[in-house]
Structure 1
Amino acid sequence: MVDFIMGLGLALPITSAVGVATVTGVGQGVSEQQRQNADSSNQVRMLKFHLDVRVETKSGSKNRRRGELQDAIVTLHDDKLWLEAKDPETGQPKNPARHPFTGFYVAYPDTDRDHTRGLVSTISRDPPVLNWIYVNKDTLECKYSSRSGSIAHHVGSFDWTTEENENSRITLDEYEGFVAVDEGEKKGWALYFDMEDDGLKDYKKGRTVCEVSLVRRLLETQDLNKWGLKEEGNIGFKKTREAEHFEEITYDETKAILQIADIWA
């Protein structure tokens, strides 16, 4: 069991006692995830990845800061997702204090929604706690929180444009609507989702808005098999004797892992 948890690549911290609501949420999530596990394409969605930024350059742009977005990386701090400069040699944020998005897809447990594919990410290196990624329903900011903090907002379904990793871009509700908003030189570029496809008409408040694409970049430390999946280290599966065979983890194992991760509370 410990080996499996460590196989996630996350030294997850032990949290306080989990209440009945959390146990219920875990049961819902496990049931939904087990249904998905039969599909190899969903197995691949559990690989961990960073998010790089692509932006179409426009000649004659008057915004001198627009160039900062090209080949930036998505980071998490102050409860929001940001687009920041990336070190071309390491592939990590130039500012070592910033934590890069490091996440994967997993079913979001909510009985009031149809099946929803959620997106989670670690939010820090130490401790490397997992949170849900969501779009705030009132501001359209891309943010992160626990299940209780995200459930009232837009939590998915998240997906991708293609299974080809180098060309695979993140979508929400089958739409690439991500935009960067210039929140000033002291804060930088924040990530929003243009829900109405109108350039954030009612939300930008005079700020510069730029369309961006979020490109998946798989973590290089993951060894892949024919599914594009590591033999261990991806939530929902554990290593078996046959290199190309996976069995679902048990309910009790999954419940314990997700309680420790504290993303179902």
Structure 2
Amino acid sequence: MPSGSVSGGQASDIPDSSSNSPNLDPSTFHEWEGCSVQFSDGSFWKLTKPLSKTAYQQVNPPFEGRRVFTCVCVKDPNHKYTNINEAAVKVKYQVKSTSDIIHTLKESVAMWTERARQCPESKEIASNLELAQVELQAATEPVSIPNKATFVEYFALRRFTSMDCQYAPRLLCHTAVSVTPGTSRIEMVGGYAILMLMTKLPGEPLNYRGFWSMPLEEREAVRITFKEALLEIWWQGISPWDCAMRNIVWDSEGRKCYIVDFEDYSQVHYETEEDLQQSFSDDILYNWGISEKSFAGWQQIRNTAWFHQHDILIMVFELLTLATVPTAIGAVEAVHQQRVLNEEAESDERKAPFYIDVFCDAKSSKRDEVDGSMVVLKDGKLRLWPKDPKTHLPKADPNDSSAPHPFKGFFLPFPAADLPHRPIPAPRILGLVSEIPPDPSISPSSRPSKPRLNWICIDVETRELKYGPRAVAKENGIGPWDWTEDEVGLTLDGEESLVAVEEEKVEGGLGWAVYYDRDDDCLKGEEIGRRKRVLRCSLERRMVNREDEKIVVE
């Protein structure tokens, strides 16, 4: 049976970021895309196509941004990579913290400082104070020592390489540089950046919809080769903790699975191959989300009209694999988990009202029309509008001198009765609601005193964001909405996947609307994406300071 603890490493095994300087030009790249980097073996690689969006870790300092690219070798002085046409590189770089986290860390330092003053002989308190001070420094200042998760992944990749593992990426080289201005909007200039050059795996990561749309024969082939891959990973002494379908890469042509993402794992050891084989069971497939029992009834649902009309809603089921409950726990534990999930979805923090500000650092002559704007409700859809620098609310419309109604809303679970085929337990689907503009046909004196809310929904055909009552929203995509790890950015289906589309060329930046970029291709697969300008942007919450008031959700 396996045994062990979370692995780590010594700082000396990865070079200090001050020992190398990046060959980067901030004017020619955005979040590392398109830049060229020299690695420790003297080779130069150009980062070409991003394989993932930038994800941020802002829980444990130092905080990091993470992104994966394909890359090509542009200089190979040692002729080391003559047989490699394309590789992959994972970039992990220090980013700034949020004001809320900094405040919490400062409070921790103050608390332990006071306790140390009261108990100066306590070694435990002195140790906790030192740790709190180190965490605060790592969250607020540039540091050269990466986050522990970076060490963990580095050592896993190095082990797979030395053991000639056939089911995981191999580490080709690495380098450490310093973050330079222009890297990202929340960069920590002077902080570390670790780039790990790896073999590029064939195939694509699995996702819930794609996997369960496969023929049964192909799904079984995935399970067979996944078992081979995981057993090999275990035999190498690594047991991944992040058991998720997205971390399984399926090469349909080569009929082979690979496993990726080793930021969290345990070290394990098996005496014999028999022990290794006996440790694998169908529950392992279930935990990774690829067992046939992971979602009973999928074949029936995928053949219904509901499936085709609600393809965006189906995407939320991938999240369910992260909340599965082993069958041995039983119905009592399942009911308990459902209650916990419901309480999380309906917490006071989720219901705190906010405005939506828009940030954009795309390389475009129209960037300034999007960056610094805010989201408003106008003509039945979500649009971007210039913000008044004094009031931080929408500017007046130059055509009629009135200002459009800003988005002013919060998260709210969508009524479960309107969502069929929901297994239990399952997270409540978080919807997004907003106060709506008053009806111009009703005189101000006759209007209801309580603000009325509509649901924000995604048109399943055009991908544009609209607002409407529940009857309209349930016929379109309604989520799941959520916030990013720092509780600032807005996510849809787990990703910051919203873009600005210039529907009309109107002076003053009044022609932009918000769309859902489901495929992360700037809507190139949609007609409007081929005809109109599309800019990636970040939608971020700005809390509303007001007293509680009753509202009516339509």
* TM-score (ref. length: structure 1): 0.65
Counterpart for residue 497 of structure 2: 177
Counterpart for residue 434 of structure 2: 121
Matches within 5 A, 1:96-107: 96-107=402-413
Q: CA deviation at 1:56?
A: 1.1
2:383 corresponds to 1:70: no
Deviating more after overlay: 67-76 vs 112-121? 112-121
Counterpart for residue 533 of structure 2: 208
Q: Deviations over 1:118-168 (max 9, x none)?
A: 00001115653210001110000000011111112110110000355xxx1
Q: CA deviation at 1:262?
A: 4.8
Separation in structure 2 between the aligned mates of residue 112 and residue 40 of structure 1, nearest angstrom: 19
Bigger Rg, structure 1 or 2: 2
Separation in structure 2 between the aligned mates of residue 36 and residue 88 of structure 1, nearest angstrom: 39
Separation in structure 2 between the aligned mates of residue 163 and residue 80 of structure 1, nearest angstrom: 27
Counterpart for residue 55 of structure 1: 360
Deviating more after overlay: 115-124 vs 105-114? 105-114
> What is the root-mean-square deviation in Å for CA atoms of aligned residues?
2.4
Q: What is the one-letter code of the residue matched to 1:178?
A: L
Q: Residues 113 and 106 (structure 1 numbering): CA distance in 2 closer, same or farther, change over 3 Å? A: farther
Q: What is the one-letter code of the residue matched to 2:351?
A: M
Q: CA deviation at 1:220?
A: 2.0
Q: CA deviation at 1:97?
A: 2.6
**Unaligned runs of at least 5 residues, structure 2:** 1-337, 397-401, 423-427, 439-443
Counterpart for residue 462 of structure 2: 139
Separation in structure 1 between the aligned mates of residue 421 and residue 411 of structure 2, nearest angstrom: 17
Q: 1:84 aligns with which of 364, 385, 389?
A: 385
Q: 2:542 aligns with which of 188, 212, 217?
A: 217
Separation in structure 2 between the aligned mates of residue 113 and residue 143 of structure 1, nearest angstrom: 25
Counterpart for residue 159 of structure 1: 482
Check the 8 A contact 1:182/1:188 in 2, yes or no: yes
Q: What is the one-letter code of the residue matched to 2:493?
A: D
Tell me, what secondary structure is at the counterpart of 1:89?
coil
Q: Residues 91 and 205 (structure 1 numbering): CA distance in 2 closer, same or farther, change over 3 Å? A: same
Check the 8 A contact 1:77/1:123 in 2, yes or no: no
Q: Residues 34 and 121 (structure 1 numbering): CA distance in 2 closer, same or farther, change over 3 Å? A: farther
Separation in structure 1 between the aligned mates of residue 345 and residue 464 of structure 2, nearest angstrom: 32
Q: CA deviation at 1:71?
A: 0.8
Check the 8 A contact 2:345/2:413 in 1, yes or no: no
Separation in structure 2 between the aligned mates of residue 129 and residue 41 of structure 1, nearest angstrom: 19
> Which structure exhibits the higher relative contact order, with contacts defined as CA atoms closer than 8 Å and separated by 6 or more residues?
1
Separation in structure 1 between the aligned mates of residue 358 and residue 383 of structure 2, nearest angstrom: 11
Counterpart for residue 243 of structure 1: none
Separation in structure 2 between the aligned mates of residue 171 and residue 111 of structure 1, nearest angstrom: 20
Please identify which structure carries the higher helix content: 2
Separation in structure 1 between the aligned mates of residue 490 and residue 521 of structure 2, nearest angstrom: 19
Identity among equivalent pairs (%): 38
Counterpart for residue 514 of structure 2: 191
Q: Residues 147 and 86 (structure 1 numbering): CA distance in 2 closer, same or farther, change over 3 Å? A: same
Q: Deviations over 1:175-221 (max 9, x none)?
A: 11100000113460010010111110132132100001110000022
**Unaligned runs of at least 5 residues, structure 1:** 1-32, 223-231, 236-256
Separation in structure 2 between the aligned mates of residue 113 and residue 158 of structure 1, nearest angstrom: 19
Separation in structure 2 between the aligned mates of residue 90 and residue 145 of structure 1, nearest angstrom: 27
* Number of residue pairs the alignment of both structures matches: 190
Separation in structure 1 between the aligned mates of residue 490 and residue 485 of structure 2, nearest angstrom: 9
Check the 8 A contact 2:373/2:385 in 1, yes or no: yes
